[in-house]
Amino acid sequence: MKSIIKKSMTLLLVASLSFGVPGCSEKENIEDKSRETVTFMTISFNPAKSNTGEYAEEIRKRIEDYCGCNLNIIWVQNDLMEEKTDLAVASPATMPMIMTYGGPVTAKTVSAAKNGLFVDLNDYIWDSEKYPNLSKILPSVAESLSVDGKLIAIPRARAVGRYGLCYRTDWAEKLGLKEPKSPKDVYDMLYAFTYGDPDGNGKDDTIGLEMTCYTGPFDIIQTWFGCGNGWIESNGYLVPVHMQPEYITALDYIKKLYDDGLMAPDWAARPTENWSDGCKTGKNGVFIDVMDSGRRIWDYFVSDSTFTPSVTDPKQPASMTLYGAVNGRTLATSGYNGYFTLSASTCDTKEKIEAALTLLDRLCDDEMLVLTQYGIEGVNYTVKDDIIEMLDAGNPALINNYLDLNQMLAYLPSTEHVTSPHVKDTERMTAQKQAYEKALSSAVSNPALVYLANSATYAEVGASLQESIDLARTRYIYGEITKDELLEVNREWLTRGGQSIINEVNSQYRAKH
């Protein structure tokens, strides 16, 4: 039988070939020749819809006028972003001036930085008069985004206690389930959501856990069993989590979820593009990742155009419980989720560098935060007593005008900043903030993050080594390899450069402790 992992890779390859070369929208802006033109490659979660529509160009023009530049946005589908950044790095002369990366700094990024492909931002962003927002980067975050003492990126700030488990509240109530305190409780909930007919339609048409090829949820589940966040400190020594005994215990648990049919059998072949659709359409009841995604599912249930009735009271909308730590533990974010780099080859003058940084800084001002997230007053929303009231709920034609523009936001100095005007907190936003705050004390951080960026071996082979660990994890869960074969991959990790990474990380760690 063919490996489902190979099928997944084939699907991604086909998607890559069919995507073509990313570019700006079909309507070209009339550039102001007195201003620098900034090329910005960023994420599209909604291919062919991002910043489109009748008011799209007006919104773009407002951004350009406020930020003092001409803006060429290069939209790249989320699942293809890593591939597109790799291609861009391979041709430095044509790299977009600003490039978006997801997650923490990887070995590939470190290698590119060591080759001088990115601007050292230390020479610019600490000027609080020029960059009042960017200059407020947390020192610990700046350190984790530095290579050989050079700050290579602007973080996309995020709450630390952002990860957790979200579930259909009404499904749980119907089946008499309480908040899951332990991994066993989570298993019982997933089993009930899969086999207990939570929607009451008498059909076998639900699966507990919504899951795709993105395996971040597994990293969260691992913490429930005592695993670290990528790495863990043990007796004054930093080691990667796949060397922990708890790692195998966690994988056996995840494998049982899969074996017992509590997640889709083809999850490794499913793209992330429509990840939350299963919960939105009533096929799944549990979503494990950032809790704001769970809140957005809840928003979907409540919206007039997509109203989803509760299974316990059809007159009321369905709802989600945003629940952070299981067994007293969850994954911490790094304080950021992704980052922006400036290309040294295309930001080749001080004027271009400052134009790019001014754009990123001013996008964090109230006026731009409101425009890129809520659109135009009188078209997308009205304002009363400094409170934004949305007019475009459920109207894609209007929402598409500003759709995905928030992917250009660094959200500095804080994601908790309240704009003026602002959207009044709903019950759902209040629940999200409370969940973040509660999860903060249980969030497990990565103690090696700052050191990995400056490990020479990690820069050279870290990405491929991590891919081998992640692939082995997936194959073990699928039952394609045995536990002995999984452990052999872990041992090979050491001989292929992993031990050198451990030594280099701990050399830095001991120097600071």
422 pLDDT more than 60 = yes
Q: Where are the domains of the chain?
A: 20-160+334-420, 162-331+424-513
pLDDT category of residue 10 using cuts at 50, 70 and 90: very low
Which amino acid, residue 397?
A
pLDDT category of residue 376 using cuts at 50, 70 and 90: very high
Q: Locate 24 and state its tokens.
A: 């700006």
Closest CA to 164 of 510, 407, 435, 394: 435
18 pLDDT more than 70 = no
Q: At what angle do helices 56-67 and 366-374 cross, to 10 degrees?
A: 170
User: How many Cα atoms are found within 13 Å in the side-chain-facing hemisphere of 215?
Assistant: 19
Can you say how many angstroms the Cα of residue 417 is from the centroid of all Cα atoms in its chain?
19
Q: Which residues of 333-359 are buried (b: 16+ CB within 10 A; e: fewer)?
A: bbbbbbbbbbbbebbeeeebbbbbbbb
Cα–Cα distance, 285 to 198 (Å, whole number) = 9
pLDDT of residue 197: 98
> Do 350 and 130 form a contact (C-beta atoms < 8 A)?
no
User: How many Cα atoms are found within 13 Å in the side-chain-facing hemisphere of 93?
Assistant: 0
Q: What are phi and psi of 351, to 5 degrees?
A: -65, -40
Cα–Cα distance, 192 to 176 (Å, whole number) = 10
In the CATH scheme, what is the homologous superfamily, with its name and number, of domain 20-160+334-420? Periplasmic binding protein-like II (3.40.190.10)
Share of residues in the chain with pLDDT > 70 (%): 94
Q: For residues 118-133, give the mean pLDDT.
A: 98
pLDDT of residue 107: 80
> Do 175 and 185 form a contact (C-beta atoms < 8 A)?
no
Topology match between the domains 20-160+334-420 and 162-331+424-513 = yes
pLDDT tens sequence across 349-367 = 999 999 999 999 999 999 9
8 pLDDT more than 50 = no
pLDDT tens sequence across 249-299 = 999 999 999 999 999 999 999 998 889 999 999 999 999 999 999 999 999
Q: Locate 262 and state its tokens.
A: 């509590």
Greater pLDDT, 295 or 105: 295
Helix, strand or coil for residue 46? Answer: coil
**List of E strands, 5-144:** 37-44, 70-77, 98-101
pLDDT of residue 16: 37
Whole-number mean pLDDT of the chain?
A: 92
> Do 229 and 219 form a contact (C-beta atoms < 8 A)?
yes
98 pLDDT more than 70 = yes
Cα dihedral value 484, 486, 492, 494, nearest 10: -110
Q: Locate 388 and state its tokens.
A: 């934004």
Residue appearing with tokens 């959501």: 193
Strand order in the sheet with 336-342: 70-77, 37-44, 98-101, 336-342, 154-157
pLDDT tens sequence across 296-337 = 999 999 998 999 999 999 999 999 999 999 999 999 998 998
User: How many Cα atoms are found within 13 Å in the side-chain-facing hemisphere of 168?
Assistant: 37
Among 123-132, 140-149, 186-195, the range scoring the smallest mean pLDDT is 140-149
4 pLDDT more than 60 = no
13 pLDDT more than 50 = no
> Do 130 and 316 form a contact (C-beta atoms < 8 A)?
no
CATH class of 162-331+424-513: alpha beta
- The pTM (predicted TM-score) of the whole model is 0.76
> Do 107 and 458 form a contact (C-beta atoms < 8 A)?
yes
- H or E segment and range at residue 42: strand 37-44
Closest CA to 466 of 110, 226, 116: 110
pLDDT of residue 512: 85
Cα–Cα distances in angstroms (integers) from residue 80 to residues 17, 377, 499, in the given order:
10, 33, 31
pLDDT of residue 29: 53
- H or E segment and range at residue 110: helix 107-114
Please compute Rg for the chain using Cα positions.
Answer: 23
Can you say how many angstroms the Cα of residue 421 is from the centroid of all Cα atoms in its chain?
27
User: How many Cα atoms are found within 13 Å in the side-chain-facing hemisphere of 262?
Assistant: 23
Length of the chain: 513
